Amino acid sequence: MGTGKVKIFTGAGRGKTPAALGIALQRASRGDRIVIIQFLKGRGLDNSPFLKKLEPEIKLFRFEKTELPFDQMSPEQREDEIINIRNGLHFAQKVLATGECDVLVMDEVLGLVQKHIITVEDLHQIVLQSSDTDIILTGTVMDSSICAFADEISEISTVHFKNFE
């Protein structure tokens, strides 16, 4: 692995994806090329005019084909979506191997490990494809062995205040 860093946003709180996207926006504003691949979020924003405005600096991809949450799918639907998810992971490997971007955000990829769609070793092999690309991984639950290949881990928690305005 080269000079690229691996940052992880994890925890039960809200804000992991916004934190990752915030870094992506900051880096894009400095001229960096950003690729965002979202997992376990369904089909997403097909043909969004807003997303087109972000290109070429920021490119967002979702490979899943259904709007149903993964846990609500039938076993057959899950198998189909796992194929789509693996296509997204192969795309991430290609992006890293070719140096196509400066920052790769793999949103909710830790959920793929949690749901046993991929292993920690699978994720590690993807991260090893990087040379100078910074990688941001997000997910609610993080396997402790993932810490070994992270440069920085931020645990996000939500605090509720009764009188918050």
106 or 131, higher pLDDT: 106
Tens digit of each residue's pLDDT (9 = 90 or more) over 137-165: 999 988 889 999 999 999 999 887 776 55
Q: Which residues form the domain of 114?
A: 6-155
**The model's pTM:** 0.90
Q: Residue 27: is its pLDDT beyond 90?
A: yes
108, part of any domain? yes
164, part of any domain? no
Q: Residue 51: is its pLDDT beyond 70?
A: no
163, part of any domain? no
53, part of any domain? yes
Rounded-to-integer distance, Cα 38 and Cα 17, Å: 9
1, part of any domain? no
72, part of any domain? yes
In angstroms, the Cα distances linking 140 to 16, 24, 105, 111 are 8, 19, 15, 7
Nearest to 107 by CA among 32, 27, 44, 55: 44
Rounded-to-integer distance, Cα 128 and Cα 87, Å: 18
pLDDT in the model for residue 39: 93
160, part of any domain? no
Tens digit of each residue's pLDDT (9 = 90 or more) over 62-71: 888 888 888 8
Q: Pinpoint the alpha helices (H) of 99-159.
A: 109-114, 120-128
Domain harbouring 61, CATH code: 3.40.50.300
Query: Does an H or E element contain 34, and which?
Result: strand 34-38
Tally of structural domains, the chain = 1
pLDDT in the model for residue 164: 59
145, part of any domain? yes
pLDDT in the model for residue 134: 97
pLDDT in the model for residue 154: 95
Q: Over range 11-37, report the average pLDDT.
A: 95
Q: Residue 1: is its pLDDT beyond 70?
A: no
pLDDT in the model for residue 2: 66
